[in-house]
Amino acid sequence: MAGYFLMICTRGDMRKIPRCEVPGCCAPAQHTHRSVDGIKKYRKSSWVRREYDAPNGWVCATHHMEHLAKQNSFASTTQWKNSKHVYRMYRLDFCENIDERLGFKCTTTAPPQELIEKVIDSGYYEGHLEVDHIDGDASNNDPDNLQTLCACCHKWKTAMEKDYLTPGRKALGLNSNGTFSMVKTA
């Protein structure tokens, strides 16, 4: 068993947030919920206490997800998360519009993990990459019909090709001509 050691972190704005006790990690522990009296609660894991002889077992979102992936026999966190959704397993780690398939080249850059951990309590964010159904049919999960787009390119493609009108979509109050039925016109 590896011995526990104290990691000194110098981020003054987060002194009250416990730190991940995985050796070499200085990330904040994953925020899990608020107690009834409004106090923030953070993730503690027995595996961190056991493997690193850590006193509390605090763990950040990144190490928690890595542990869950390994525990479920996946090679990476991405593979584990993608296994939970039929089409997400085809999601790549980049926007496929870098080849200008939508008429412009994607220049979106994901936020760095350090910023995500500083800004988002859980330390977990993947909202910038989405799986798009090329033909707009949300029920057609054929791998040849799926592409990875960043949120910006995905929204543009949906608006440009009126994917919100295709079969299987929630109409969201849209008429067949694409106008909102709930909006009163003069």
Number of Cβ atoms within 10 Å of the Cβ of 171? 10
Cα gap 73→87, rounded to integer Å:
20
CA 11 and chain centroid, separation? 24
Q: What is the pLDDT of residue 169?
A: 57
pLDDT at 179: 42
CA 140 to chain centre: 23
CA 179 and chain centroid, separation: 31
What is the full per-residue pLDDT of the chain (186 aa) written as tens digits? 444 444 444 444 445 889 999 999 989 999 888 889 988 899 999 999 999 999 999 999 889 989 998 998 888 777 777 777 677 778 887 899 999 999 999 998 878 878 877 777 666 666 788 899 998 887 788 999 999 999 999 999 999 998 877 765 554 344 444 444 444 444
The pLDDT of residue 95 is: 92
Q: Which long-range contacts (CB under 8 A, 24 or more apart) does 83-90 make?
A: 86/141, 87/131, 87/133, 87/141, 87/146, 88/131, 90/131, 90/143, 90/146, 90/148
Q: Taking the alpha carbons of 100, 103, 104, 110 in that order, is the dihedral positive or negative?
A: negative
Asked whether 121 and 99 are in contact (CB, 8 A), the reply is: no
- Going by the DSSP 8-state scheme, the letter that residue 102 receives in this structure is T
pTM of the complete model: 0.49
Q: Could you give the residue ranges of the DSSP H alpha helices within 19-172? A: 46-52, 61-71, 77-82, 113-119, 151-161
Q: Which of 42, 40, 67, 41 is nearest to 52 (CA)?
A: 67
Specify the pLDDT at position 151. 92
Q: Is 156 left (phi over 0), alpha (psi -120 to 50) or beta?
A: alpha
Q: Amino acid identity, residue 171?
A: A
